[in-house]
A = this chain, B = another copy of it.
Amino acid sequence: MRIGVLCSGGDSPGMNAAIRGAVLRGVDVHGFDMVGFMDGWRGFHEGEWIPLDRSTVRGLSPLGGVMLGTSRARPFVHGDGDESDMRVIRERMAEYGLDGFLLIGGNGTQTVAKMLNDAGIRAIGLPKTIDNDLGGTDYTFGFDTAVSIACEAVDRLRTTGESHRRCMVLEVMGRNAGWIALHAGMAGGAQVTLIPEHPESIEQICEWVLSVRNRGRSSLVVVAEGFKPTGFDDEVTREGLDGFGRPRLGGIAEVLAPLIESRTGIETRATVLGHVQRGGSPTAFDRVLATRTGLAAADAVKEGLWGTMMALRGDSIEFVSLEEAVSRLKTVPADRYEQARLNFG
């Protein structure tokens, strides 16, 4: 049995541990032959791969990034996954002697995994996204590390904010789902947390910030990159939003900070945390989750469970159908957000 491993989409702390887990169990326990394609589908289509065995995955667990590289290179060279695309993939698999894939990636990648499987090409999904917006699983590896880094930034900004009696606005990742903001805001005791799922008006945000000042404290606002304020009018647009309420330049934090400052009279500073959220050594939680995900994926191959994705359910790794996993984006439900608002204003 020869299995190809590839990573697609943005990198996520834990990808190395997942590869290591899959290889230690796949090669040493189940006796598979395993290869890794470099930079995702690019390596697959260009024939750049390396053998994976115990020695190649040695010491990988604590390392950030991913040793195979990852990219957004397209799996389908002709179209969006039609039969001619599948034919290309089948031909290359024959060329490499591949029996199936382990695909490490987020929503897009798991959707590809499902399409492959529907077309009779064996694939198993390992979910990975720092945004935690993938269905079917409690958490994805990378999320805990991103939250930890964001929470550490909240802790740091708070001390400087309080010392200067400033309002500090921290932008964290999360284009469609506000999980990182929700957790980092709750962990750090943010006074305002803003997420894409729950738009708020500039007026409401400023009211919270003033209320915090009135009880003698300085505000810490955590905002997900995908948040869009409601009710903006022409004036707001001129100040920094385009016609669709999106920031004209820079991140949303850089739009909000001057608006808050001009309306509340409180000195306000923006920080856009950016790429540091996805880098560096994974937390112990993510290393364990990723390793177990890899182990389970190797077992799924052994048991012929093609078309499944490895999912965390409680303290167990379970096999869920790819269909369930990609059927919806997992966003923050209203009651979870309502809990986080406890500390607001």
Contacts and interface: CB of A to CB of B under 8 A. Distances in A.
Number of copies: 4
Interface string A263-281: 0000001111111101111
A123 interface: no
A315 B138 contact: yes
Given A147-B285, A275-B269, A284-B187, A65 B314 contact: no
A63 B287 CA distance: 19
A343 interface: yes
A245 interface: no
Contacts of A139: 315
Interface in A125-177: 138-139, 144, 147-153, 155-165, 168
A114 interface: no
Interface residues of A, number: 81
A107 interface: no
Contact of A186 (B148, B155, B288): B288
A74 to B, nearest CB: 16
Contacts of A152: 280, 284
Nearest to A65: B159
Contacts of A188: 61-62, 284, 287
